[in-house]
Amino acid sequence: MKTNNFLGRDWIDAEIDYSKEEWETLIDVALELKRRHALRDDQSAILKGKTLFTMFFNQSLRTRSTFAAGIQQLGGFHVDLEPGKTYTPARKGYDIPYQTERIKDVAEMLDRVGDAIAIRMYGPPAMWRYGFANATMKEFAQFAGIPIINMECDKFHPTQALADMITVKEKFGTFKGLNLTMSFAYSGSIEKPRAVPQSVILAATKMGMNVTLAHPEGYELDQKIIDQCQAFSKQTDGSFKIINNFDEGFKGAHIVYPKAWGAHTCFNYADENGKVFQEADHTEAKRVNEAAKDWRTTAKQMALVDKQGIYMHCLPADRSQEVDDDVIDGPRSVVIDEAENRLHAHKAIMAMIMGGRL
């Protein structure tokens, strides 16, 4: 299997930067690696001797465990460079003496001794400044010749989206004609990134699905991403629409993906020079959040979906807020299959961009 189109590329805005055909290739590679894993086939020659550096500015279970396990199953090495335990990489203008180190110096050094750098950053480490974390990853890419992997930023979560598309392909065998609803779900926490919903709707429209984005007023996503979803749906003969009705989003859906994210006003917004032009308004964010308490997935909602319909969630889920136990633990839930597929998605990404021998 040729890797020329993937070798050395970054995986940052992958829902936009990688073509539909490239996503299909990654899905096929992941499913093949999953089959081989089930058969206990030795995969240790694929990335033998390669080193993956990870930097988690935020907590993680699925992403951390599956990247670490994945690179080792492929024969490589995992080195966790947890910010705060090492000098914390910092963008120019955000330096703190004896606590941080300029990204340029970190990236250029790691480029000499490893084969890829995977980063997770959003929320408090990015000052809840929308786009700051994404720009941080791109600054790493500017100075490192080895691939940069986005393990979730404040705009995108492309590794999760790939695992989600793998799961859909497994359950339905196709993307064409499927109705997927990405829906807001209530949580007691108002501060949550938009990365998952934005990545899911981008990936689903890219793959040609009929996508519905359902959310209360006040939870609008990035307009540039909405515009891109509309463009993708035209290119792939799928469809894309936005509604503000929870039940309506479930009716006839083959896949429902109810997930909490932050209101528009929970983020700070800054220009390219870092000057904040709109500060977060948590009072307003709390108001719209409390008004959306009934956006909770129950058995009643699941009765509205297609007879073969499934429930998806990236996890962790806020049980008894986002979703009832009898739904997330019920027969229509595929959340553990979805979580398992993180391993195979990550292995496919690493194998393809790090020069794996497949």
Does 2 fall in a domain? Answer: no
**Residue 358: band (very low, low, confident or very high) from pLDDT cuts 50, 70, 90:** confident
pTM of structure: 0.97
Does 9 fall in a domain? Answer: no
Average pLDDT over the chain, rounded to an integer: 96
The answer, yes or no, to whether residue 1 has pLDDT greater than 70, is no
Q: Say how many domains are in the chain.
A: 2
CB distance 297 to 168 below 8 Å:
no
At 333-345, the pLDDT tens digits run: 999 999 999 999 9
Identify which of 72, 56, 195, 77 has the alpha carbon closest to the alpha carbon of residue 119.
56
Q: Is 31 helix (H, G, I), strand (E, B) or coil?
A: helix
* DSSP assignment string, 131-175: THHHHHHHHHHHH-SS-EEES--SS--HHHHHHHHHHHHHHHS--
The answer, yes or no, to whether residue 88 has pLDDT greater than 50, is yes
Residues 135 and 208 in one domain: no
Residue 92: which CATH number? 3.40.50.1370
Query: What is the domain extent for residue 125?
Result: 14-155+342-353
On the CB side of 107, CA atoms within 13 Å amount to 21
CB distance 268 to 281 below 8 Å:
no
At 157-171, the pLDDT tens digits run: 999 999 999 999 999
Residue 3 is predicted with a pLDDT of: 41
Residues 200 and 126 in one domain: no
Does 70 fall in a domain? Answer: yes
The answer, yes or no, to whether residue 2 has pLDDT greater than 90, is no
